[in-house]
Structures are given as structure tokens and as C-alpha cells.
Amino acid sequence: MKVCSLGSGSKGNSTLIESHDTRILIDIGFSGKETARRLHEIEVPPESIDAILITHDHRDHTSGAGIFSRRYNIPIYITASTLEQCNTLFTDNDFIKLYQPSRSFVVDGITVEPFLTLHDAVEPVVFALTDISKRFKVGIATDLGKPTAQVRLALTNVNFLILESNYDEGLLRNSHYPATVQQRIASSHGHLSNGAAAQFACELLHPGLSGILLAHISQKCNRPDLALSTMEKAMRPKGFLGFLGVATQDRPTLFLDLEKLKVQTNRNGQYSLL
């Protein structure tokens, strides 16, 4: 399996997953044009995308999904409540496919397991995607709020994890956000702090975990180096030798080949940074 974050943060999120000949985009929070531009940047033709999966209704995850789907005739997998909430984005769209949260489905050889989260959207989910032939499992968990038992179950034994590390607690406290916004971000229905993400990653640590990509980094209340160092300080002493990287808002990450990453990590005990 291969993974690339086309960009992540409060101004837009989209993640590309590739397995054999199947390419799936998780969320499109950029304009259709910008999404196509970023795909071209990593040499992936937009028309080669097979499906779009939507995690929740917030604009930073949905704004370009409808237009991109119509332009390239790509099915959108979405829950009924999320569809209702952002219906104007998907009017006259013939490519809607409904899924139910907590019920798995298959998209061209990839098993998709959606699990509800506490995040403050109508019906937000995290996804676990498993390549059926190779049993390689990727977890995508941004906009978490607080990890629930269900989310923990979803992400057990993932081989690669995209995890939000939204804010640094000190930077959030000293930010210009009003107290109500600060409370919303830090609540169990908001986002994970760097510390909470590191603690959660430690809980999920197992020998088959080859890497973690930190995502949804706040541009006002966090810095990539802070998020990364918090994660490193928590994970390395526990013996984690895998890949650690950060997805940023402005440009795609490398197109990571997860199985090669695993081999390299195991053989050399080394890791690299994005």
C-alpha cells in the first residue's frame, strides 16, 4: 500500500491511499482544482481515482468533494446524516454511495471499516483500510475529539497510522482564540493535543506498526517540530524504530510505500523525517 497526504490542517485535508490498481481519496477539503493540482504534483492523474470516502461534514474535509466527483465521475462514499448536513455540495450528484458507520464495506479490493468518533460533527468517523490480499492495515484518525473504546478497537494492529496532533497545549492557552473556542478545541469533541496524540500512539504501539504520520497540525497553536518531538520523546523510549513524519497544510508529503518503509525500518532500524 502507498499513502500520501495531499495536505492537512484546518484549511483542507485529503489523503491518497493506493493499493494495487486502486486509488482512494479520504476527504477532499481543497477545491477541486487544487486537489487535481496536488495530485499532478505527485504524478497521479485525477481521473485515476476510484473512490472518495468522506469522514465527516466539516468544510475542511468536504469542500471540493462534490465538484471533483462530478468532474471525474468518481463515486463518493458518505453516511446519510453527513450527506444531509452538506447536501448543497452534492446536489445533482449521481455518484453518491451511502455507507453506515460501524459497518464495513469493500471498495475495489480494499476493506473499509468506519468507526464513529466524538468529534463535533453530525456523524464523524475514523477509517481503518485493509488491503485484502496483503492484510496491510492503515488507520486514518484526524478530528478525533477524545479516543473512545470503539476508536481504539478500530486502530488496533494498524501497520501505519495517520493521527491528528492538532495543538500544543501551551500555544493554545496563549493564542488569541477566545476562551470558548479554546475550550471547544481542547474538549472531548474537538481535537487531540500533541501530548494526547503521543499517549494514544503509545497505547497503539505493537511490533507491526511501521510508521506514524502526524496530521491536522494547527497553524496557530502548533508547529510541526513540536508535534514531532513530542511524539518522538514518547515513542522512542518504548522501542519504536518506525517512521515518524508530519503532514503540512501547503504541500503533499512524499508518496510513501508502506511495505518498503516497513522493510527498511526493520532492516536498518532507521527512520526518516518528512
Measured distance CA(204)–CA(159) in Å, rounded: 10
> Nearer to Zn ion by C-beta: 4 or 215?
215
Give Dmax over CA atoms of the chain in angstroms. Answer: 53
Q: Which range of residues in 131-139, 141-149, 178-186, 241-249 is near Zn ion by CB under 5 A?
A: 141-149
3-class SS at 255?
coil
- Taking CA 271 as the corner, what is the angle to CA 113 and CA 202, rounded to the nearest 5 degrees? 50
Give the interface size with Zn ion as a residue count (CB under 5 A).
3
CB of 114 to Zn ion, least distance (A): 15
> Nearer to Zn ion by C-beta: 61 or 262?
61
Measured distance CA(175)–CA(220) in Å, rounded: 7
Query: Which H or E run includes 159?
Result: none
Residue 227 near residue 214 (C-beta atoms within 8 A):
yes
38 binds Zn ion (CB under 5 A): no
CB of 88 to Zn ion, least distance (A): 18
143 binds Zn ion (CB under 5 A): yes
| Phi/psi of residue 225, nearest 5 degrees | -65, -35
Q: Which range of residues in 97-105, 106-114, 137-145, 249-257 is near Zn ion by CB under 5 A?
A: 137-145
Give the contact letters, 178-197, x = binds to Zn ion (CB under 5 A), - = no.
--------------------
> Nearer to Zn ion by C-beta: 147 or 242?
147
> Nearer to Zn ion by C-beta: 60 or 123?
60
> Nearer to Zn ion by C-beta: 1 or 186?
186
For residue 126, list its beta bridge partners: 115
164 binds Zn ion (CB under 5 A): no
If you write DSSP's letter for every residue of 195-218 in order, what string do you get?
HHHHHHHHHH--TT--EEEEE---
123 binds Zn ion (CB under 5 A): no
CB of 190 to Zn ion, least distance (A): 9
Out of 2, 38, 58, 137, the only residue in the binding site for Zn ion (CB under 5 A) is 58
* Pairing assessment for the beta strands 110-116 and 2-7 based on DSSP bridges: unpaired
60 binds Zn ion (CB under 5 A): yes
Half-sphere exposure at residue 216, Cβ-oriented, CA atoms within 13 angstroms: 23
Question: Which residues here bind Zn ion, judged by CB under 5 A?
Answer: 58, 60, 143
